[in-house]
Structure 1
Amino acid sequence: MIKGLYETHIQVSNLGKAIQFYTEVLGLRLAHRDETRPIAFLWIGDEKEFMLGLWEQKENLQTRHFAFTSTTEDILNYSVKFLENKSLKPYNFLKNGNVEPMVFAWMPALAIYFNDPDGNQLEFISVLEGDGKPELGVLSYEDWMAQAQN
């Protein structure tokens, strides 16, 4: 029955600014803005493939987390520079001041994080080839590759 996740929704404090961030900074495309209520829908990837809903919430904003699918190459070679060029601060899962993408060994998957202007935690993630090794925890890609050889 379930084939994937089609859409997710988050709260934002200013719908216009959020639309601008997600379209101009991250490159999503506006699908529809409902003029009768403070909500907008954005396409992620190809039109009608995946969707993000932005709901304006002026009080008691509840931040969320979600991840954008990316490639391993893009995360390793471009993600940090891309984010920094957009004046966004990348961080790894450990939040230890290092901006190096990290591997969740249980999956395995490579990821780097950043926040939108409202503090929603966003992520670029790429599922890696091979079996997971949960006993390794979270580690650098370099350490993951060294362990994967064993």
Structure 2
Amino acid sequence: MIKGIFETHINVSDFERSARFYERLPGVTLLHYDAQRKSRFYWIGEPGTSMLGIRENYPSPLVQRQHFAFTTDVEQLHNAATELAGLGITAQNFHGEPVQHAGELIVFPFMPAVSIYFDDPDGHSLELIAMLSHSARPEQPLMTWDEWESLQQQG
């Protein structure tokens, strides 16, 4: 019955500021703007597959930190820290450490997947995550991408 998550909505403190942030991200396309409700809706990736909504002060002026992840390709993650820095966005790994290159990203062996994190203007935690083509290794702890690649070469 359930095949995935189609949409996510977040409360923001200033929807114009948040709109400027999200509209700079590659793969985010404005779908609908509702000035009266101070909200915008975006296609994430290919139109019709997933949607993000931002709305100012809804349901209240309190903005609670949320987390969500955008799907991406492994190849995209190789340059993600540099691309985000070019947008004035600081990238971090899962442990909250600043990331300079892809090898510092953290792999989740139980999936396996690798990801990079960054915050929006309200402090919402955003993630770019890519599934890896290797077999899952749930017995392994979280590790850097460099460590994961070394482990894969060892067999």
TM value normalised by structure 2: 0.88
What is the correspondence of 1:1-150 to structure 2 with a 5 Å cutoff? 1-23=1-23, 25-27=24-26, 28-57=28-57, 59-76=61-78, 78-99=79-100, 100-149=104-153, 150=155
8 A Cα contact 1:19 1:30, kept in partner:
no
Moved beyond 2 Å, runs of 4+:
96-100
Q: Measured at CA, do residues 43 and 95 of structure 1 come closer, stay the same or move farther in structure 2, by a change above 3 Å?
A: same
Unmatched runs of 5 consecutive residues or more in structure 2:
none
In the TM superposition, residue 98 of structure 1 has moved relative to its aligned partner by 4.3
Q: Distance in 1 between matches of 2:54 and 2:97?
A: 30
8 A Cα contact 1:10 1:63, kept in partner:
no
Identity %: 38
Q: Distance in 2 between matches of 1:98 and 1:32?
A: 34
In the TM superposition, residue 129 of structure 1 has moved relative to its aligned partner by 1.3
**Partner-residue secondary structure (3-state), 2:139:** helix
In the TM superposition, residue 140 of structure 1 has moved relative to its aligned partner by 1.1
Give the AA of the match of 2:40: A
Q: Distance in 1 between matches of 2:105 and 2:25?
A: 18
Q: Distance in 2 between matches of 1:145 and 1:29?
A: 34
Unmatched runs of 5 consecutive residues or more in structure 1:
none
Give the AA of the match of 1:120: H
In the TM superposition, residue 131 of structure 1 has moved relative to its aligned partner by 2.2
TM value normalised by structure 1: 0.90
Q: Distance in 2 between matches of 1:90 and 1:96?
A: 8
Corresponding residue pairs, total: 148
Alpha-carbon RMSD: 1.6
Deviations along 1:36-62, one digit per CA (max 9) or x if unpaired, are 322221111122221001021273211
